[in-house]
Structure 1
């Protein structure tokens, strides 16, 4: 029996070690002080379509649209296109008074994919050079479009992902979510770009050559995580994704544990769905040297950082109790994983507050582990994340965590 346990111990260790080594390599690569894409002021102004899919986003959509309209960019060279889905009549009336294109839809089963496809069918395909995807809660600076335009002025650039940063740090969960976002930026975008690999797309703050985006989206049928399927399709075609670390888009961070649970459930579902949809392309991709695609496919099947952190820690504790001679390699792996994550956190987040939010990680791990058993359901319908920055009191915040712990066991769909 001990031999069997020994075998499975090493099998799990190797699987986790590969995942940890992957994170460490790209985390260290993010420390290189260089710009992944050198740009100069573009000689021409490209025509932009800023696409904003807004499902029940009455609380945030107007500030987002106003930020888009306040660009230091020729007004005749870009259109703000809002796809209003199930928003209030007064919100639509307010948007109609602005110099934007407002497309009102009413899907029985709403998804971002359906909204974006409706916008592409509504717009003139030949009227734009670049499609820019912005979330309904995002805020962009006045220089944003000009900086993206400069990037597309570089020969060969077809897809650009900008740097998504936290718009709010009003709760400890928001602070933890902001740190998680920056770890992703360091490892999956800056680290990858510094090593010549494609940066990961993130669902918003991303720009595409318009014909390229049109063709890829019109064949996209994903329910959640349309960006996952989109990047797999484009990477398989050999398209390279560039990253602009100094061009920022502000994104609202999760404020409550309940929203964290729902959002991560959608993300995990999209992650594994895209893996199984594209797994059959792996061998042809290897034969043709499509390493960006292979790298992205591995990301889809690998553990998220919270799950990896939790499982490695549990294995280290369990082996310390049951088989002390086996535990050293697990504690060593746990230490290397911590190093990879610490290196990826920007200096500005190293405040006293970070030691406070660390205590939310066990709760986050538990919620993510529960999500592993509810992925199939999440891919059948769109799981919406409610936006709107609020001040969350401590009692309400604790109640939201308690509710979220018991929520998975309730028969709520």
Structure 2
């Protein structure tokens, strides 16, 4: 009898914490279902931009991405494209040198995007820019991208996250990667902005006020540079806007091993950021820095795949032990699936998604083992192999 009481207590405690995570996702997923109620007016001034493409072993995609960006319907004298070439082939660098861009060739012993960005800012020196845009080497944008960012900046948006979305859906893994990103967009970006909170950053498709970025990028050193930038911004109470109608097309990982390596790096960055941010939580609470408190709450939560797996396993386990205990777990699992379904955009709901979902249990198991394989990952760059298109 005492054993059942202990199990019942543990069951209640576990349910409480899992329910907080599921409730959090549900609230912001529901908020993210509504469309943005306003758009920025056309800017009266043409602001100056620096566009950074950190490129580590990105020979397959970098030239195509840069060529695409150079098609902007924006005065060419008002933006400079800078490629930071790290461990790319001489032939790739020679091709890039033929383009109207600044090419910085580096050879870091331990490569990271943070090092590339810091070097680029040093090289730009005293050039006069209003904003800096960071794109991945495989990212492409629409011709009005810079004008849209310009419009937002003139209205006071000093930090902007654009809508990163999939450019390829050619494998089940790529589809799941795209779905995961769109769920993040709905919950941690669109839903947050709808409720007056800052958007999460995503690593590319980001724009920053130039002077702020130049000063603060020196404080960033890990492979989770976007999370470090988020901490700096939210500590300083700088709002991060999200522009859902400004797409940045990103190549999704096509193979399971690349998917898992990517998630392992993200997990490591999340735990490292949480460890660094937790000491600031009491001050954030007392100073009513809601955005910073919310960010810590995000990092405390289990990754979604693990949350699904854990809730499913506990639902089955409590059914076998005592079906009365299991009712609340099955309800929680239903609410979790409902939240995730609300967050998936219609264009991804098709037969291919139904087929891809079969991989989720395997990915959940692999993600669980990733929890024990994170040592040192946050200090180095894990290259994601790109396919040919």
Q: TM-score with structure 1 length normalisation?
A: 0.92
The aligned residue for residue 117 of structure 2 is 116
The aligned residue for residue 216 of structure 1 is 216
The aligned residue for residue 16 of structure 2 is 14
Shift of 1:379: 2.0
Confirm or deny: 8 A CA contact 2:190 2:244 kept in the other structure.
yes
Give the Cα–Cα distance (whole angstroms) in 2 for the partners of residues 316 and 377 of structure 1: 35
The aligned residue for residue 318 of structure 1 is 317
Structure 1 residues 385 and 21, CA gap change in structure 2 (3 angstroms): same
Superposed CA offset, 1:24-64 (max 9, x none): 000000122334x6301101111100011000000000011
The aligned residue for residue 410 of structure 1 is none
Confirm or deny: 8 A CA contact 1:203 1:227 kept in the other structure.
yes
Shift of 1:124: 2.5
Give the Cα–Cα distance (whole angstroms) in 1 for the partners of residues 347 and 108 of structure 2: 42
Give the Cα–Cα distance (whole angstroms) in 2 for the partners of residues 140 and 211 of structure 1: 24
Give the Cα–Cα distance (whole angstroms) in 1 for the partners of residues 126 and 321 of structure 2: 64
Which is worse superposed, 320-329 or 127-136?
320-329
Matched residue SS, 2:105: strand
Aligned residues: 387
Shift of 1:126: 4.3
Query: Pairwise mapping of residues 238-257 of structure 1 onto structure 2 (< 5 A)?
Result: 238-257=237-256
Give the Cα–Cα distance (whole angstroms) in 1 for the partners of residues 203 and 95 of structure 2: 26
Query: Pairwise mapping of residues 189-338 of structure 1 onto structure 2 (< 5 A)?
Result: 189-222=189-222, 224-338=223-337
Structure 1 residues 296 and 389, CA gap change in structure 2 (3 angstroms): farther
Shift of 1:243: 0.7
Superposed CA offset, 1:202-245 (max 9, x none): 000010000111122111121x1100011111111000000111
Indicate the RMSD between aligned Cα atoms, in angstroms: 1.1
Give the Cα–Cα distance (whole angstroms) in 2 for the partners of residues 123 and 171 of structure 1: 40
Which stretches in structure 2 are left out of the alignment for 5+ residues? none
Give the Cα–Cα distance (whole angstroms) in 2 for the partners of residues 266 and 34 of structure 1: 32
Give the Cα–Cα distance (whole angstroms) in 2 for the partners of residues 270 and 169 of structure 1: 26
Give the Cα–Cα distance (whole angstroms) in 2 for the partners of residues 216 and 76 of structure 1: 26
Confirm or deny: 8 A CA contact 1:168 1:389 kept in the other structure.
no
Query: Pairwise mapping of residues 357-376 of structure 1 onto structure 2 (< 5 A)?
Result: 357-376=356-375
Matched residue SS, 1:300: helix
The aligned residue for residue 78 of structure 1 is 79
The aligned residue for residue 134 of structure 1 is 135
Query: Pairwise mapping of residues 121-200 of structure 1 onto structure 2 (< 5 A)?
Result: 121-154=122-155, 156-200=156-200
Shift of 1:347: 1.1
The aligned residue for residue 69 of structure 2 is 68
The aligned residue for residue 53 of structure 1 is 54
Give the Cα–Cα distance (whole angstroms) in 1 for the partners of residues 376 and 96 of structure 2: 34
The aligned residue for residue 89 of structure 1 is 90
Give the Cα–Cα distance (whole angstroms) in 1 for the partners of residues 339 and 105 of structure 2: 45
Give the Cα–Cα distance (whole angstroms) in 1 for the partners of residues 365 and 216 of structure 2: 36
Confirm or deny: 8 A CA contact 2:224 2:378 kept in the other structure.
no
Matched residue SS, 2:375: helix
Give the Cα–Cα distance (whole angstroms) in 2 for the partners of residues 109 and 241 of structure 1: 30
Confirm or deny: 8 A CA contact 2:159 2:240 kept in the other structure.
yes
Superposed CA offset, 1:161-183 (max 9, x none): 00001010011111111111111
Superposed CA offset, 1:49-86 (max 9, x none): 00110000000000110011110000010000000000
Give the Cα–Cα distance (whole angstroms) in 2 for the partners of residues 70 and 38 of structure 1: 23
Q: TM-score with structure 2 length normalisation?
A: 0.98
Give the Cα–Cα distance (whole angstroms) in 2 for the partners of residues 278 and 168 of structure 1: 35
Give the Cα–Cα distance (whole angstroms) in 2 for the partners of residues 332 and 113 of structure 1: 43
Give the Cα–Cα distance (whole angstroms) in 2 for the partners of residues 125 and 197 of structure 1: 34
Confirm or deny: 8 A CA contact 1:216 1:234 kept in the other structure.
no
The aligned residue for residue 5 of structure 1 is 7
